[in-house]
């Protein structure tokens, strides 16, 4: 690079007034293969160039998409002496002839003649290869670089036919390079002299240049290797002293992540050279660092533009980026392995790291990432998986003596590793960036195997299992708010509550993505009989899709599908009342799946299962949210949890926990039979599917058990004293038979009501839990001025008596029944989980 700084012209010096003299606007352009796919694309490229007001325009072109591969295949087929190479050569010739005719029409004669001569020469070279049997490197490079020559000729001739002042520059006439250990090295002195002579003879305003090709210092045709056309663009931008280099491709610039893995990846407005190099090293679709070397040396900005959206500003890469961040982008490097040298005898021994790297260097193994703890107990190197075994053998050989005497315990090899890199100049000096990355990966249950961060702080790299790579990338991308936090959501039980919830999610999903950075993907819905699975997470028209689905419900397949997309977080919402579904909660939570439910079976079911659920949450970090199991949409569980977490002591809980029973006894005044009110409540969806779950007091008892366990009591449902409102003879009847015999409830209830009325009292179904854990639910008489006596319709009310709230209990009151209210409580739990995972809710 020193020769570049010496041989290129010095920057213009300020004049007498201290102002730089005006320079003619010279812009270099480079168009990739997709930009020149066919005649239509050539016309489009030409129209872009002609529309630009530039004093000098240098345009480097790639071969038409696929042509370089075709040329390599031709050379290999000819060397193998297969009969197909002549037919393939004719097809390649025809493709260029068709493009020339389509572009130039009546003016195509000279171009067609030129192509005829070039393909005749190519045929002679291929014939020679068929005689030789093996393509020498020089011949292969000669052949594979011809696509750029053909492409430049097509574009230059088309511009000339449009009356433009244009010249075609074959880079093989001016560009001299050498191949070294670090890649292609440009002989800037000789190339500069040849270019100056060529330019003097060809002073056209527009110059079309062949990318990818050059000559070595012996005069033989060669190529620039990987990303050679981009590199050609940077080289000729330097030779032309261009003010900018525009690299035209098929995307809107550099993206914050691979859009194939993160569809929500966003274009970046600006990057520094350092940021672009870091991203490119780990495989992001950015210009290769070698391409940027001439631009970095001269400070030439590089603009990554979209040929098909020329109005988009693209990404500007320059010495200084912008202040967006702190993380600009994330990228993955797959197909790696981790080699770990470990031993107590390495601690404090000088030269150990040197021996490790020398052994890998001698084995020609490239090290992607290095990590070593301050204890010096181990040195970890990440290498290409294809080189992993060579690396291990090299280290075992280098430390054979230490392995034998126990100073080094082992050389461990772990395959299927990927490296996730977070890159951004804004990371330097910004506290908490690493913490956010690690927290985000932890919440997504991604285990980090090794960590590396340089002193520049612009790159944090972590080695992770390849099976977790896609999920980790998406989680980190959302964690730095580069894309919405994405949840893979499955709903079980699309009954009244489930249906209301799905409708609420559908109505809110667009707003949440825009305002809360939250992307809810509804990827599965399961009823008792069937389920539908969706790849894209669309929330609309779920009823019809479920009705049309031929797939029987299989909860194992349901869960596999939810996790199959490698989305960072999975949530199952159980809106059923099924005990068998609740049995699966510990398994799901242990797997890191968040569970949200209004189903009381888990919270009030067997104590052993409840403890298993808690243990699974503790071990995995998954959230189990069940606010709607007690008070529908009311913050009953949350309020109790807040009281206890802040050090308060519970004295008693007393309340009306059933919106159904609250509605019934608020309405029951003796004027209408009690059975008629039960039927009315059932029709409005206030009751459980079987009203006996409400009337028996079992539902209320379950809610009291849930609160008791939340308060630290090991209470089971059979320990609650429950007064049932269902007559003995109806308790074991079928649901239809019970509904048909509802009138049998009327006489006993009328008698209870009459007794309470004579005493000036009201009937209410009340649950109580005292400080000793004694629990009861039943129908009681309360004075007319009691807090429970004047509730509105389906209101639930809970009184928390605590050490702080002793004389005046803390009251939570509001509607406690109805699908919409309960669904809203479940939805609120979903948003709480999302907020804990990083959404801006």
Q: Active-site residues: which are they?
A: 703
Element (H, E) at 523: strand 518-526
Joined together, the tokens standing for residue 179 give 């191949």
Number of alpha carbons in the 13 Å side-chain half-sphere of residue 416? 5
Q: Report the alpha-carbon distance of residue 157 to residue 175 in Å, rounded.
A: 22
Report whether 482 contacts 447 (CB < 8 A): no
Joined together, the tokens standing for residue 54 give 């530039």
Edge-to-edge strand ranges of the sheet holding 531-533 = 531-533, 518-526, 485-492, 569-574, 594-596, 624-625
Please list the residues that pair with 28 across neighbouring strands: 58, 245
Q: DSSP letter at 267? A: B
Interhelix angle 109-132/146-161, rounded to 10 degrees, is 180
Q: DSSP letter at 399? A: T
Q: Which residue has the tokens 């016309």?
A: 43
Maximum CA pair distance of the chain? 117
Please report the sign of the dihedral spanned by the C-alpha atoms of residue 68, residue 72, residue 74, residue 75: positive
Q: Residue 836, SS3?
A: helix
Cα separations in angstroms, 658 against 501, 581, 687: 20, 23, 9
Q: Report the alpha-carbon distance of residue 431 to residue 542 in Å, rounded.
A: 44
Task: Provide the terminal-to-terminal Cα distance of the chain, rounded to the nearest Å.
Answer: 51
Q: Among candidates 490, 447, 483, 493, which has minimal Cα distance to 265?
A: 483
Report whether 841 contacts 835 (CB < 8 A): yes
Q: Report the alpha-carbon distance of residue 783 to residue 357 in Å, rounded.
A: 85
Q: Report the alpha-carbon distance of residue 486 to residue 519 in Å, rounded.
A: 5
Residues 6+ apart with CB under 8 A from 463: 336, 338, 369, 371, 380, 382, 417, 418, 419, 448, 449, 450, 451
Length reported for the chain: 841
Report whether 359 contacts 403 (CB < 8 A): no
Q: 616 burial class (0-12, 13-18, 19+ CB within 10 angstroms)?
A: buried
Q: 1 burial class (0-12, 13-18, 19+ CB within 10 angstroms)?
A: exposed
SS3 content of the chain, % helix, strand, coil (to 5): 45, 20, 30
Q: Report the alpha-carbon distance of residue 320 to residue 271 in Å, rounded.
A: 7
Cα separations in angstroms, 606 against 97, 223, 260, 613, 704: 79, 73, 45, 11, 14
Cα separations in angstroms, 683 against 504, 631, 672, 680, 793: 22, 21, 16, 5, 15
């Amino acid at each position: 690079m020193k020769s570049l700084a010496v041989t290129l012209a010095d920057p213009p010096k300020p004049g007498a007034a201290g102002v730089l003299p005006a320079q003619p606007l010279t812009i270099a352009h480079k168009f990739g293969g997709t930009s020149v796919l066919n005649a239509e694309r050539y016309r489009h490229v030409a129209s872009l160039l002609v529309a630009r007001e530039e004093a000098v325009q240098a345009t480097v072109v790639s071969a038409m998409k696929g042509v370089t591969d075709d040329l390599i295949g031709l050379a290999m087929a000819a060397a193998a002496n297969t009969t197909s190479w002549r037919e393939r050569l004719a097809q390649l010739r025809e493709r260029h002839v068709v493009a020339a005719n389509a572009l130039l029409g009546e003016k195509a004669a000279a171009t067609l003649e030129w192509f005829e001569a070039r393909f005749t020469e190519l045929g002679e070279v291929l014939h020679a290869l068929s005689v030789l049997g093996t393509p020498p490197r020089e011949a292969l490079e000669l052949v594979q670089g011809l696509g750029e020559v053909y492409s430049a000729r097509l574009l230059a001739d088309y511009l000339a036919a449009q009356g433009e002042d244009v010249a075609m520059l074959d880079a093989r006439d001016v560009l001299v390079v050498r191949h070294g250990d670090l890649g292609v090295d440009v002989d800037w002195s000789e190339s500069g002299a040849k270019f100056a002579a060529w330019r003097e003879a060809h002073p056209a305003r527009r110059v079309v240049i062949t990318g990818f090709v050059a000559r070595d210092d012996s005069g033989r045709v060669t190529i620039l290797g990987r990303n050679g056309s981009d590199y050609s663009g940077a080289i000729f931008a330097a030779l032309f002293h261009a003010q900018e280099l525009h690299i035209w491709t098929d995307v809107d610039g550099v993206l914050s992540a691979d859009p194939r893995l993160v569809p929500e990846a966003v274009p970046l407005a600006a990057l520094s050279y350092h940021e672009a190099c870091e991203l490119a090293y780990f495989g992001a679709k950015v210009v290769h660092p070698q391409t940027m070397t001439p631009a970095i040396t001269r400070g030439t900005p590089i603009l990554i533009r979209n040929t098909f959206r020329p109005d988009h500003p693209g990404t500007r890469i320059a010495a200084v980026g912008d202040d967006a961040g702190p993380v600009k982008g994330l990228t993955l490097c797959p197909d790696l392995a981790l080699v770990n040298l470990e031993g107590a005898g390495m601690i404090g021994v000088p030269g150990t790291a040197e021996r490790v790297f020398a052994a890998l260097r001698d084995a020609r193994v490239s090290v992607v990432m290095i990590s070593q703890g301050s204890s010096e107990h181990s040195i970890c190197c990440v290498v290409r998986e294809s080189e992993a075994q060579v690396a291990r053998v090299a280290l075992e050989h280098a430390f054979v003596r230490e392995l034998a005497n126990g100073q080094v315990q082992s050389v461990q090899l772990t395959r299927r590793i990927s490296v996730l890199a977070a890159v951004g100049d804004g990371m330097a000096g910004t506290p908490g960036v690493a913490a956010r990355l690690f927290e985000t990966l932890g919440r997504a249950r991604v285990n980090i195997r090794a960590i590396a961060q340089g002193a520049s702080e612009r790159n944090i790299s972590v080695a992770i299992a390849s099976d977790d790579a896609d999920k980790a990338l998406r989680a980190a991308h959302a964690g730095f708010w580069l894309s919405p936090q994405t949840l893979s959501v499955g709903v079980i039980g699309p009954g009244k509550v489930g249906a209301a919830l799905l409708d609420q999610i559908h109505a809110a999903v667009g707003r949440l993505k825009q305002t809360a950075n939250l992307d809810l993907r509804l990827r599965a819905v399961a009823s008792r009989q069937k389920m539908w699975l969706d790849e894209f997470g669309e929330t609309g028209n779920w009823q019809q899709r479920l009705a049309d689905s031929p797939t029987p419900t299989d909860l194992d397949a349901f869960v596999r599908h939810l996790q199959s997309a490698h989305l960072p977080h999975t949530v199952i919402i159980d809106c059923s009342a099924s005990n068998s579904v609740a049995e699966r909660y510990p398994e799901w939570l242990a797997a890191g799946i968040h569970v949200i439910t209004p189903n009381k079976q888990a919270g009030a079911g067997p104590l052993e299962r409840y403890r298993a659920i808690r243990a699974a949450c503790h071990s995995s970090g998954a959230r189990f949210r069940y606010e709607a199991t007690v008070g529908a949409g009311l913050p009953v569980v949350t309020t109790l949890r807040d009281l206890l977490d802040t050090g308060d002591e519970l004295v008693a809980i007393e309340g009306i926990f059933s919106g159904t029973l609250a509605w019934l006894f608020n309405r029951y005044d003796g004027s209408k039979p009690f059975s008629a009110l039960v039927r009315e409540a059932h029709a409005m969806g206030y009751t459980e599917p079987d009203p006996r779950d409400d009337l028996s007091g079992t539902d209320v008892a379950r809610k009291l058990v849930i609160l008791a366990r939340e308060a630290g009591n090991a209470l089971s449902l059979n320990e609650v004293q429950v007064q049932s409102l269902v007559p003995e003879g109806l308790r074991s009847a079928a649901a239809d038979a019970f509904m048909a015999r509802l009138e049998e409830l009327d006489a006993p209830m009328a008698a209870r009501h009459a007794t309470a009325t004579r005493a000036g009292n009201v009937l209410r179904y009340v649950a109580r839990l005292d400080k000793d854990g004694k629990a009861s639910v039943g129908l009681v008489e309360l004075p007319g001025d009691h807090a429970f006596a004047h509730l509105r319709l389906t209101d639930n009310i809970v009184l928390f008596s605590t050490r702080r709230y002793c004389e005046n209990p803390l009251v939570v009151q509001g509607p406690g029944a109805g699908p919409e209210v309960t669904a809203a409580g479940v939805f609120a739990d979903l948003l709480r989980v999302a907020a804990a995972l990083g959404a801006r809710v």
